[in-house]
Amino acid sequence: MTSVLVERAGEILVVTLNRPDRRNAVTREVSERVAAAMDELDSDPALRCAIITGSGGHFCSGMDLKVFASGERPEVDGRGFAGVTEAPPAKPLIAAVEGFALAGGFELALACDLIVASETAQFGLPEPTRGLVAGSGGLVRLARRIPPNIAMEYGLTGARMDARTAQRLGLVNRLVAAGEALGSALDLARILAANAPLSVATSKRIMVEQAGWPAERLWDIQRPLVDAVVRSRDAQEGARAFADKRQPVWEGR
């Protein structure tokens, strides 16, 4: 059985963790395969965004503890857990979550730009209950995306967060019925894919990086990024298409 399935749905890359018997727990092989898929996403101009999901009714239960106990680490150098957490792709990445997104699985979801979750989804960082630390970005990203004191509670207790709570706290973009996370994520991905790729990639970059920009240099840092898009062929095409009352044809340049 292939541990990671990679399929194309038009301009969208769908990456499925495929170890249902282990609730899609991540091994080094899984991380390497996901990292390769992310390279494919960013290097192929025909691809606009990607979805990562899991098979068998669960997203990902985290690191495969049995494999870890044998001495294997699941991280990829420079890429992190699941080949994503330390170096997410430049293009948008959507998590489609059913069932468990625990430990590294939650960290993987947090590394994505958007999260679509079914009502069955459960999130959590149970590492302290196993003598570990959520060191693949979970503690950092969670504390930046929900109120810090609430993040502290989940980070220290290892408690699970249900899907409705995650939506209420702003972690989940869309909450859907059981079994519909991937379909809803595809709908969302198609909306992103219809937009100008340079505009989308630059918008993502600004929103991701701006937290580290000094306030006094914010406009100086952002200006060349925005100017590059404004000067692009796609910007001209967008204006012409609007004037002609037609759909634009993006070139990605």
The domain ranges of the chain are 4-193, 197-244
User: Residues 112, 88: contact at Cβ < 8 Å?
Assistant: yes
- Contact criterion met (CB below 8 Å) for 111 and 60: no
**Residue type at 10?**
G
CA distances 36 to 21, 76, 160, 182, Å, are 23, 11, 31, 21
Whole-number pLDDT of residue 65: 81
Residue 152's alpha-carbon distances to 132, 143, 169, in angstroms, are 16, 7, 14
40 in Cβ contact with 12 (< 8 Å): no
Considering only CA atoms, which of 211, 251, 248 is closest in space to residue 233? 251
pLDDT of residue 67: 75
Query: For all residues of the chain together, what is the average pLDDT?
Result: 94
Which amino acid, 70? S
The helix/strand/coil state of 175 is strand
Residue 68 has pLDDT above 80, yes or no: no
**How confident is the model at residue 163, as a pLDDT?**
97
Measured distance CA(91)–CA(42) in Å, rounded: 6
How far is CA 24 from each of CA 139, 175, 186, rounded to the nearest angstrom?
Answer: 21, 21, 21
pLDDT digits (tens, 9 = 90+) for 101-111: 999 999 999 99
Q: Which amino acid is residue 243, in one-letter code?
A: A
Q: How far is CA 203 from the centre of its chain?
A: 15
**Residues carrying an active site annotation:** 107, 127
Going by C-beta distance under 8 Å and a sequence separation of 6 or more, which residues neighbour residue 214? none
At residue 84, the 3 state secondary structure works out as coil
Task: Give the model confidence (pLDDT) of 121-152 as tens digits.
Answer: 999 999 999 888 999 999 999 999 999 999 99
If we measure between CA atoms, which residue out of 96, 208, 61 comes closest to residue 144? 208
DSSP one-letter code for 251? -
pTM comes to 0.94
How far is it, in rounded angstroms, from Cα 46 to Cα 246? 21
Fold annotation for 197-244: Lyase 2-enoyl-coa Hydratase; Chain  A, domain 2 (1.10.12)
Average pLDDT over residues 229-253: 89
Q: What does the pLDDT read at residue 70?
A: 79
Phi, psi of 149 (to 5 degrees): -70, -30
- C-alpha span between 24 and 33 (Å, rounded): 13
**CA dihedral angle for residue 194, residue 197, residue 199, residue 200, rounded to 10 degrees:** 70
Domain 4-193 has CATH 3.90.226.10: yes
